[in-house]
Amino acid sequence: MNRIALSIPRFRNELFGFSIITIIIFHFFEDVVNSGTTTPFTGAAEFYLSVFYSMGVDIFLFLSGMGLFYSMSKPGGAIPFLKRRISRILPAYALIGGIGWFILDLVVGKKSFLVFLSDFTTVSFWTEGVVLVWYISFIMVMYLLFPLIYKMLTLKNRALSNALTVILILCVIGGSAALSFINYQVYDNLEIALWRIIIFVIGAWFGRTVFNGEKLTYEFYLLVSLSLVFIALTYVTSLNKDFLWGIFGLRLQSVFYPVLIIIIATGIISLFDGKAINKALRRLGEISLELYLSHVMVRAIFKAIGLPTYYARNYLLVIAISFAAAIGVHRLLCFVKAKRG
């Protein structure tokens, strides 16, 4: 297990490709279940949601946290780090999000320009809980906070560093739970991002371990053990949906579960090293940001114009358009970057 886990950075792009596939599957199955109609996919959708749910997003964030540790470790400090990260995400979002929100708010929704600005700048996520592109809000905040997280993870006193990391995770859990009691509306708006801080921090902590060539410690195996516990609890949830929701909440369930899934996926991917399937996953990983943004936008537009995305035919069209947009935007941004030198 140690060997497989330490090879995660090597297959990072392939894992990003795997995660975006699971996100696309999740969104389709979510639409099938939420439609309230019976389709040929209903049984598979209910099983997938009860066992995996939005696990792909958590894998995406684990890998993002790990990648940010590597990026922050480059010479230059916080300012060059922030410039590199922001220049990667904002141009893609400006193109895809700008067009997407223009269609959703101004063309289809006939809403005001102020609503468009609120959605495009993601202000509406913080004020109204508009979660369509919550990832942009989340990752921008993580970019700003990451120099502090990095400092915590790289303390010379490794025991103190690990202790502070655990305390941070416990604070997120306790703070999120407390917010749900103090102001449930605010919690409900933000919970999709709040709980994801944990898997992001775990990814960054793991990045420190592999970046420094360290052996995995007991903390990592504790995470794996917790993953097994949550797999068991997931099974119980599939039998009695109120059990896990009532005690831990859906987001807490997804905090540790993906760790084991990432290890299993890495083990399988490593078996096909150099094969066509890995090359395809790597290509998907390279455009995963653009594909994610295109996918959520196109899916939302289809719903807004009355094309149900729980129909397989419509959803395949969503996927086709999303891929075309993602590839086009990715190539355009690469071209502009190459021109600038």
Taking Cα atoms as reference points, which of 53, 128, 57, 110 lies closest to residue 296? 57
Predicted confidence (pLDDT) at residue 255 exceeds the cutoff of 70? no
Mean pLDDT within 241-264: 63
What are residue 58's phi and psi, to 5 degrees?
-65, -35
Mean pLDDT within 325-336: 95
pLDDT at residue number 9: 87
Mean pLDDT within 14-36: 94
How would you class 313 by CB atoms within 10 Å of its CB: exposed for 0-12, middle for 13-18, buried for 19 or more? exposed
Residues 6+ apart with CB under 8 A from 14: 269, 278, 281, 282, 285
pLDDT digits (tens, 9 = 90+) for 76-114: 889 999 999 999 999 999 999 999 999 999 999 999 999
d(CA 270, CA 45): 28
Predicted confidence (pLDDT) at residue 262 exceeds the cutoff of 60? yes
pLDDT tier, 253 (very low <50, low <70, confident <90, very high otherwise): low
Stretch among 54-58, 100-104, 146-150 having the lowest mean pLDDT? 54-58
* Overall residue count recorded for the chain in this entry: 341
d(CA 54, CA 226): 18
Predicted confidence (pLDDT) at residue 169 exceeds the cutoff of 90? no
Mean pLDDT within 146-167: 92
Mean pLDDT within 238-256: 53
Residues 6+ apart with CB under 8 A from 44: 29
Predicted confidence (pLDDT) at residue 67 exceeds the cutoff of 60? yes
d(CA 192, CA 198): 12
Predicted confidence (pLDDT) at residue 245 exceeds the cutoff of 50? no
pLDDT at residue number 237: 53
Mean pLDDT across the chain = 87
Render 284-300 in DSSP notation, one character per residue: HHHTHHHHHHHHHHHHH
Stretch among 30-44, 238-252, 267-281 having the lowest mean pLDDT? 238-252
State which residues form the domain around 316.
Answer: 2-340
pLDDT at residue number 227: 60
Query: Two tokens at 117?
Result: 């600005």
pLDDT at residue number 96: 97
- Between CA 49 and CA 55, with CA 51 as vertex, the angle to 5 degrees is 75
Alpha-carbon distances, residue 152 vs 95, 157, 158, 191, 277 (angstroms) = 35, 10, 10, 24, 38
Predicted confidence (pLDDT) at residue 4 exceeds the cutoff of 80? no
Mean pLDDT within 206-217: 80
pLDDT tier, 230 (very low <50, low <70, confident <90, very high otherwise): low
pLDDT at residue number 246: 44
pLDDT at residue number 54: 83
Predicted TM-score (pTM) of the model is 0.89
The total of structural domains in the chain comes to 1
Give counts: helices (H), strands (E), the chain: 17, 0
Query: Two tokens at 17?
Result: 């490709």
Stretch among 69-73, 122-126, 177-181, 308-312 having the lowest mean pLDDT? 177-181
pLDDT tier, 251 (very low <50, low <70, confident <90, very high otherwise): low
